[in-house]
Structure 1
Amino acid sequence: MPPLTVVICVDHAYVSGGQSKVAIESALGLRAAGARVVFFAACGPVDERLGPAGVEVVCLGQPDILGNPSRLAAARQGVWNAQAEKLLEETLGHLSYDRTIVHVHGWAKALSPSIAKPIQAAGLPAVYTMHEYFLHCPNGGFYNFPKGDVCALKPMSMACWGTNCDSRNYPFKLWRNARMFVAQHVAHLAETFSDIVLLSDLQEKVLATCLPKGAAIHRVTNPVEAEPLGPKADPRSGDFLFVGRLSAEKGAFLFAEAARRAGVTPVFVGDGPIAGELQARFPQARLLGWKSPREAREAMRAARALVFPSLWYETFGLTALEAKAMGTPAIVADGCAAREAIEDGVTGLWFRSGDADSLASAIRELNNDAVITQMAKAAYDAYWAAPATRERHVGETLAVYEAMLARRAAA
């Protein structure tokens, strides 16, 4: 049997967030498992681990949409990246038709809907991992940023066109809708994928009416970078910690307010657009700034509890799972997918999404030494009973690929 070839497509060739992190980890793991891996990305620099591992990298060296100094060029690139289309066509044209899979992890920040055309022309089976919701929602989150609430409107309906839900402004929202129109009616992007990978039960519920008809739906566990350090020696020490982008939809203001009501000091690891306002409104908060992944894990290990107060439909909640691996219980909003990583009352607590009093109550409960000691041990044991390793991720991914190839052979 010829070896498997996997073409991974994603906007960034470096770790710019969870999406590219998973794509890179997957590429490394698949290569280690014996697959030929071609990593196709728009934006560099290229992660230094890929080349030495034997991953073939094709990188356009473009800026992403937000990093492009020309707004006109950025708008054009975001709607239709002609360079990406041409280079992907050349890349796929040099590959064998047998046992080749195209796996797209992201397109909305640089690659654009144009990548659909060369995938369709090559006739290769293609799978999409839903790290966000840009395949169906113009702003990628089913979230109304000005209102600070989830959005129940049908994507691309007249009500959607008439609603300013964007984090920037209404003209930008209209541009996003125009791009979605191109993705749906010119590129036919969603229909390019015979298979969709979802990360949570919540995603399946949110996307119930949106997923392409006939697409096979799979679950693949995102890999978590963690070491089995053993249960924490003293779970009672440490702070209530937030790790992630400092933005309103991530619930940073909500956590700070709830911490004030609970009488504890909120600690933030990360950076983002609201950092200055957060410090000004809550001077008691400790903002530690951006940390490397290892430093962030160390902070989670040292924390009393992680607080995951996100207001929107998170697709997975990787940070909550990372904290669990560190033996640190998490307090998570019950309206986001992170709740699926936490057994309420056992390995952490759920609180009513968007409710500062409910979050404050959960913080007070985990400020009890007996409770936190019990939950910390339970969190560590539960995670390491079935750890989300890179090997597990690769095994589940390969099972998806083989199912796709089997269906094509049968057809």
Structure 2
Amino acid sequence: MHVLVVHNRYASAQPSGENNVVDQEVALLREAGHRVGAFERRSDDIGALSLLAKAALPLRVPWNPAVRAELAARLRAERPDVVHVHNVFPLLSPAVLAACADAGVPAVATLHNYTQVCPPGTLQRDGRPCTECVGATPLPAVRHGCYRGSRLATVPLAVSLSVNRRRWWSGVERFFCISTAQRDVLVRSGMPAERLAVKHNFVPDPGSCRAGAGEHLLYLGRLAEAKGVRLLMAAWDELAAAGGVGVPLVIAGTGPLEREVTAWAAGRDDVRYVGLYDPDQCRGAIARAVAVVAPSTWLEAFGLVVVEAMAAGVPAVAAGHGAFVELVEDGVTGVLHRPGEASSLATGIRRIAGDPVLGREMGRAARLRYERGFSPAIGLERLVEGYRTAIAVRAGGGDSAPPTGNDKGWLAAGHPREQEWGQ
């Protein structure tokens, strides 16, 4: 099969689970013998634009005619079987869908977040879940300045969502949702259910599992309010006041709360802030963890770090909402805590860290869950199946979607889009 992947890569200065997912899928397809090309833009390149080009950038967020012409010409020249669209913000725009229509090539799209129904894609405002724009116009997002706290910066996203809603729905043969929780939200918003299939992101097998009980608790991800960083600090302070849990907390990542985290961790022997890890360091830190902590306050569309932990035989302590409730079986492969409650998070951490036998049992169960639902073999099967369905639909072979909602059917599970326009 010949596949062309369309993706606006996030800035390299910050970790991006979405970039990783795209790269891993491309490598997986190529290893299986498929021909895969890439049509990309990079947010890193924004800094090198002229002042005039930067000023014009918001106008091209809803529609970039130059991208449409360039992509359509490439599609006509190469004639791929299918186009796989990932992120189009801010340099590509939904004009890529018009290019696919111009060239008569079917398109599939992975929905890594909630940008189809929420301009910033987070379903969160002021640190709390928000669905005010779901199934409605995105005017509330503009009023509240939901993107980067700026009404002006939110306008291009809101305009794009409004004017391109129907184009997405009609121009994509199959949407890949990365969790059932995400699909449920999108169906309730009015998106065509028959085009929404659940395909979990896969995770490469790290090649070895955790040995022993682990030596630290690990937070690995963006240092942002939505990721529950402040909640984790409050929970850890509560644990420390009660005597600790016997192992340190390691925090790896960068983001807007980096200074706050650095100041909080300074001078403590029970916390280590290590900055941004490279992929090998991430795998090593996970493999040495008692548990991975994922306390997100927003409704995660997936939760890649939880599945990476599963692959290494490591349980998770995660917020009991969003996609985490289908990734983590409470008390079996990890622990779910009450969202937004520091005391509940502290209790979950204490439960695993204080019982090494339970931690090892959960780790073995987590690894089994990974093998059955998130391995590369499963990922390849679901990906190619989705492509073939899209090709058949475009060719007039019907529009019946495979079943969704359980691991035995059409399942296969991202990170929310990181905010990086203007970097």
Taking structure 2 as the reference length, what is the TM-score of the superposition?
Answer: 0.83
Tell me the residue number matched to 1:33.
Answer: 32
- Give the 3 Å change call, closer, same or farther, for CA 90–215 of structure 1 in structure 2: farther
- The answer to whether the 8 Å contact 2:4/2:84 transfers is yes
- The answer to whether the 8 Å contact 2:145/2:153 transfers is no
The one-letter code sitting in structure 2 at the alignment partner of 1:373 is: R
The one-letter code sitting in structure 1 at the alignment partner of 2:177 is: L
Q: Could you tell me how far apart the structure 2 residues matched to 1:67 and 1:302 are?
A: 40
Q: Could you tell me how far apart the structure 2 residues matched to 1:14 and 1:167 are?
A: 16
Q: Tell me, yes or no, if structure 1 residue 148 matches structure 2 residue 127.
A: yes
Q: CA deviation at 1:303?
A: 1.2
- Give the 3 Å change call, closer, same or farther, for CA 184–355 of structure 1 in structure 2: same
Where do 4+ consecutive residues of structure 1 move more than 3 Å? 13-16, 66-71, 157-161, 281-285
The one-letter code sitting in structure 2 at the alignment partner of 1:393 is: G
> Which among 123, 126, 133 is matched to residue 114 of structure 2?
133
Q: Could you tell me how far apart the structure 2 residues matched to 1:222 and 1:13 are?
A: 18
Tell me the residue number matched to 1:234.
Answer: 212
Q: CA deviation at 1:137?
A: 1.6
The one-letter code sitting in structure 2 at the alignment partner of 1:87 is: E
How many residues are paired up? 381
- The answer to whether the 8 Å contact 2:317/2:334 transfers is yes
Alignment of 1:81-92 (within 5 A): 81-92=64-75
Higher deviation after alignment, 8-17 or 84-93: 8-17
SS in 2 for 1:332: strand
Tell me the residue number matched to 2:416.
Answer: none
Q: Tell me, which stretches of 5 or more residues in structure 1 are unaligned?
A: 45-61
CA deviations on 1:89-148 (whole Å, 9 max, x unpaired) are: 11111133xx7111101112321122122112222221111111223321111111xx10
Q: Could you tell me how far apart the structure 2 residues matched to 1:106 and 1:202 are?
A: 20
Alignment of 1:259-408 (within 5 A): 259-263=236-240, 264=244, 265-283=248-266, 284=268, 285-369=271-355, 370-384=357-371, 386=372, 388-407=374-393, 408=395
Q: CA deviation at 1:301?
A: 0.8
- The answer to whether the 8 Å contact 2:179/2:323 transfers is yes
Q: Could you tell me how far apart the structure 2 residues matched to 1:211 and 1:34 are?
A: 37
- The answer to whether the 8 Å contact 1:7/1:39 transfers is yes
- The answer to whether the 8 Å contact 1:11/1:109 transfers is yes
CA deviations on 1:68-90 (whole Å, 9 max, x unpaired) are: 56441332343333332221011
- The answer to whether the 8 Å contact 2:176/2:198 transfers is yes
Tell me the residue number matched to 1:195.
Answer: 174
Larger relative contact order, structure 1 or 2 (CA cutoff 8 Å, min sep 6):
2
- The answer to whether the 8 Å contact 2:3/2:82 transfers is yes
Tell me the residue number matched to 1:8.
Answer: 5
Q: Could you tell me how far apart the structure 2 residues matched to 1:124 and 1:175 are?
A: 28
The one-letter code sitting in structure 1 at the alignment partner of 2:2 is: T
- The answer to whether the 8 Å contact 1:68/1:74 transfers is no
- Give the 3 Å change call, closer, same or farther, for CA 80–410 of structure 1 in structure 2: closer
Q: Tell me, which stretches of 5 or more residues in structure 2 are unaligned?
A: 399-423
> Which among 370, 386, 397 is matched to residue 410 of structure 1?
397
RMSD (Å) for aligned C-alpha atoms: 2.4
- Give the 3 Å change call, closer, same or farther, for CA 153–68 of structure 1 in structure 2: farther
